Amino acid sequence: MTSLLITGAATADGTRGDLYVVDGVFRDPADAGAGVERIDADGLLALPGLVDLHTHLREPGREDAETVDSGTRAAARGGFTCVHAMANTDPVTDTAEAAEYVAALGERDGHCQVVAVGAVTKGLGGEELAELGLMAASKARVRLFSDDGRCVSDSLLMRRALTYVKPFGGLIAQHSQDPRLAGPGACCHESEISGRLGLTGWPSQAESVIVARDVQLAELTDSRLHVCHVSTAESLDVIRWAKRRGIKVTAEATPHHLFLDTPLVEGFDTTFKVNPPLRTSEHLEALREALADGTVDTVGTDHAPHARQDKDHPFDIALPGMLGLEQALAVVMEVMINPGRMDWPTLVDRMSTTPARLGQVAGQGRPIAVGEPANLVLVDPAARAAVDRDASASRSRNNPYHGRDLPDPVVATLWRGDVTYRR
């Protein structure tokens, strides 16, 4: 029997007390014996383990950039006890066998729970639906489907996908990018800066027009739609309108779209190339407001590790994406908690409870209470440090926060009662 007593921690609502973990479950602290292992958590917060709906683990296919082992070590360092592994692997996760393989990798190598995300279309090609039903019925029990990195731009195909997943409660997560308005060469928010730098612009409307189409298809099919990495004020207007109509739409914002803005690309540092691109300050402000008021339901990291050879190119050619797991909580604290825009119970909802519910992951996002699974992160609200990309657990180093002074909150992470990270 493995056991651990955490003493003096406060929960998100301010309640202070001891937590006793036995065989992966919270038990009555009064039952803890004198010789049990202890963690002194005086001054720390005990929060439910974080859940990410949007992680790129790269395995299988690009183990030079990330593996399930390295990516979930980074997740544990960031306080996550569950991540959803996106489907753009090699081979693509578009069959039951591929989804079961990803899930098995998670069981074998994971330092947190790994949930397979299935592709919407075969090979992410946007022409034919993938094996949605078979993936859902497989041992991987896939419920989230996404062609992330590519937009399902065909309206009829998107309607069919939404219709197909409805009977088993599936969720289609869309990368909203009109391929005509923002084609493969689009790499910078369309603005004065993109024009001055000679970079192909990615207008905010290239996102919002797809969001507008998709929420209407979700209404037509009475099915569930999730908007990945929403980044523009126009998209938020559409999502608010859709929610007022009772349409089943949810949305996520990434830490980098909440914190980093377009002027960072002026140095042509490809670390700051991401898709959708970093936006201007008015979009950042709109996203922060939307995360606070619930228009944006979750924080999704879009953790996108890349090997150096994929970033070491001219800006318009380099692959888009940046690391996100280890600093996600830090960024949300910096822009939402510390300025008073959000309280801790709301952060728990956005980063644990709601993503667990949307991903239909049993045992995650649960309250910290006797009888519940011991998935937990201990947080020091006052700790800060300069981010060092070379200290990352990830195999990649495309960390956009390198050198920045940010909160360094995670003291320990427990998954299934086991300590997966401890400072």
Span 197-236, pLDDT tens digits = 999 999 999 999 999 999 999 999 999 999 999 999 999 9
Answer whether residue 379 is part of any domain: no
Span 353-398, pLDDT tens digits = 999 999 999 999 999 999 999 999 999 999 999 999 999 999 999 9
For residue 407, give both structure tokens.
């909160």
User: Is pLDDT at 145 greater than 90 in this prediction?
Assistant: yes
Answer whether residue 43 is part of any domain: no
Residue holding tokens 């990352």? 392
* Degrees to nearest 5, angle at CA 419 with 415 and 421: 100
Residues annotated catalytic, as ranges: 302
Share of the chain above pLDDT 90, in %: 99
Answer whether residue 402 is part of any domain: no
Burial zone of 30 (CB within 10 Å; 0-12 exposed, 13-18 middle, 19+ buried): exposed
At residue 254 the predicted structure's pLDDT band, cuts being 50, 70 and 90, is: very high
Number of domains in the chain: 1
Residue 224 contacts residue 171 (beta carbons within 8 Å): yes
User: Is pLDDT at 73 greater than 90 in this prediction?
Assistant: yes
Integer CA distances (angstroms), 324 to 23, 101, 131, 191, 334, in order: 31, 24, 29, 25, 14
Span 308-321, pLDDT tens digits = 999 999 999 999 99
Answer whether residue 262 is part of any domain: yes
Give me the chain's average pLDDT, please. Answer: 97
Mean pLDDT of 103-121: 98
User: Is pLDDT at 1 greater than 80 in this prediction?
Assistant: no
- Sequence-distant (6+) residues with CB within 8 A of 234 are 204, 205, 207, 208
- Sequence-distant (6+) residues with CB within 8 A of 196 are none
- Sequence-distant (6+) residues with CB within 8 A of 199 are 187, 188, 265, 315, 316
Mean pLDDT of 113-124: 98
Using alpha carbons only, how large is the chain's radius of gyration in Å? 21
Q: What is the pLDDT of residue 34?
A: 85
- pTM for the full predicted model: 0.97
Residue 112 contacts residue 76 (beta carbons within 8 Å): yes
Per the structure, the complete domain to which residue 92 belongs is given by: 49-366
Answer whether residue 154 is part of any domain: yes
Q: What is the pLDDT of residue 85?
A: 98
Output the domain CATH number for residue 53: 3.20.20.140
Rounded CA-CA distance 240/83 in Å is 27
Closest CA to 112 of 319, 307, 396, 352: 352
Answer whether residue 409 is part of any domain: no
Span 13-44, pLDDT tens digits = 999 999 999 999 999 999 998 889 999 999 99
Answer whether residue 418 is part of any domain: no
Residue 286 contacts residue 236 (beta carbons within 8 Å): yes
